[in-house]
Homo-oligomer: A and B are copies of this chain.
Amino acid sequence: MLQEINEAYGFIFEEDLIREIPEVGVLKLAGAGEIIMDINDYITSMPLLLNGAIKILREDEDGNELLLYFLERGDTCALTLSCCLGQTRSEIRAVAERETKYIMVPVSEIEEWTTRYKSWRNFIFESYQSRLSEMLETIDTLAFMNMDQRLLRYLQDKAKINQSEELQVTHQQIAYDLNTSRVVISRLLKKLEMEGKILLQRNQIIVQDL
């Protein structure tokens, strides 16, 4: 465990802090598709990603979903952080994109480390910053892009996060992530295939235009 922490966080955290993490943190494993955290959950600890990937989703009253962004190794979720510190319930759902290993750090340590470790303080600030810019990007795509562009972007992001151009995903699943209908996605995927940007197969999409 210590080795994995070092791999993901060795470059940013002080040695003392690296040693403290496994003492108070709880190591967790999630399989692909598993819900790590759900909307309205009480959150009392925050995740530090060791490997794998997590997708963060938003949902409205009617159950419509929207993918906000992905988390990778070395990331944490500022929205969760915000929940922890503000003592509110989770505003988002976190789902393992694939096999994922992470450490849950309780809120008491989060706050204490903020005063004790400069590297931790910076990490928290940087998390807020990067999450703010991810949210800005999400807003940009929603406000300024059409569905076909959003779709292509989604596929590219997903290829990057899974380190593979061969995506195991159904049209319906994409439709959920982009909050639209399956038929729309099928239609646009066909169009993207015509344009030579992707290749369609059953349960699989190969991204070519990266």
Copies in the complex: 2
Q: Check A66 against B132 for contact (C-beta < 8 Å).
A: no
Give a binary string over A18-46; 1 marks a CB under 8 Å from any B CB, 0 the rest.
00000000000000000000000000000
* Contact status A68-B139, CB under 8 Å: yes
**Inter-subunit contact B91/A136 (CB<8 Å):** yes
Which B residues are CB-close (under 8 A) to A60?
Answer: 140, 143-144
Would you give the shortest CB distance from A86 to chain B, in whole angstroms? 6
Tell whether A129 is near chain B: CB-to-CB under 8 Å: yes
* Contact with A179, one of B62, B128, B144 (Cβ below 8 angstroms): B144
A183 within 8 A of partner (CB): no
Main secondary structure of the interface of A (DSSP, over half): helix
Q: Does A164 contact B (CB under 8 A)?
A: no
Q: Which residue of B lies closest to A62 (CB)?
A: B144
Q: Which residue of B lies closest to A118 (CB)?
A: B115
CB distance from A83 to the nearest CB of B (A): 9
**Alpha-carbon distance between A21 and B131 when the two chains are bound, in angstroms:** 29
Other A-B contacts than A64-B144, A79-B132, A128-B132, 10 sampled, CB-CB below 8 A, are: A58-B136, A60-B143, A64-B143, A78-B132, A82-B128, A82-B129, A86-B129, A132-B132, A139-B142, A143-B179
